[in-house]
Amino acid sequence: MIGLATAFCWIFLLAFFVSAAYSVENLRFDFGELQMSVTSDNRLLLSLPISVENKGYYNVDSFNITTEVSDLNGSIISSGSTFIPIIRKDDNLTDFHNLTLDINDLLENGSDYLFNDSELCIDQFVGFRIAEVIPVQVATNFSVPWGAPFYNFTLTEPRIEAFNLTHFRVSVPLSFENHASFNIAGNITVKIYNSTEALVDQEQTTIEVAQYSPYNGLVEFYVLMTEFTTSGHFEVYFLTQLFNYGPMVIPYG
């Protein structure tokens, strides 16, 4: 009798693990396209749609997805988790896995993400239990494109003309393309320095640029003739609803 009970027990366990393996194979979860938007507190919201279909024999519980976002230097700039207590068999559900990102953290290791299209690195960890007993863990990594909000930012050579007997009017065309998936609103301050490193004037321009749109503007300075030189440099400062950056130094002449 003991041998028969032992055999029955092994058959039961084997059948359970086979059915559990089948359930794992028939648990399908898909991730949609990453969406980006701006929160009310001016942070970047990364939202990843999740679709889960449980066609196995058992309920799935403690479904947890954790995501870490890193820059190309490997620095983690954001992380977040989504927990679903239970996914019953034959359930088909859709949820959103959200995390927020402070772009100032992204800029701590350099300005590339402001001015050059790049990528963000995504590491994902998924864990759950089958039939309240068997733990399963899955890890994956991939990258998503990043569009630079100030792609190809350019200050062209100054155009100089006499304004009155003591001052020049110095006009500087300013242009860039907003490749980001969010709008930009804020101010750009430009300071002009002469060849002796002396600050001769500064001006601020207000910008509102929709996502995936170009911008072309003009910054005008009124500079004392005695202080202006044909070579020098600009310092550019960016103040937007999402981030601050500066100075960006651009020589002229």
Q: pLDDT tens across 106-152, in order?
A: 888 778 899 999 999 989 888 888 767 778 788 888 888 999 999 99
Residue 9: inside a domain:
no
Of 25-34, 41-50, 89-98, 238-247, the one with minimum mean pLDDT is 25-34
Q: Which one of 118, 146, 174 terminates a domain?
A: 146
Residue 123 structure tokens: 């590491």
At which of 84, 119, 146 does a domain end? 146
Tokens, residue 17: 């693990």
Pick from 113, 131, 129: nearest CA to 121: 113
**Beta bridge pairs of residue 167:** 224
User: Do residues 119 and 155 both lie within one domain?
Assistant: no
**In terms of residue numbers, what domain contains 51?**
28-146
CA gap 78, 33 in Å, rounded:
18
pTM of the model: 0.80
Residue 16, in any domain of the structure: no
Please identify, among 98, 121, 146, the residue that sits at the C-terminal boundary of a domain. 146
Assess whether 120 and 45 both reside in one domain. yes
* CA Rg value for the chain: 28
Query: What's the pLDDT score for residue 188?
Result: 97
pLDDT at 26 (0 to 100): 67
Same domain assignment for residues 237 and 215: yes
Q: Which region holds residue 115: left if phi is over 0, alpha if psi is between -120 and 50, else beta?
A: alpha
For residues 209 and 178, the answer to whether their CB atoms sit within 8 Å is yes
pLDDT one-digit tens code per residue, 189-222: 999 999 999 999 999 999 999 999 999 999 999 9
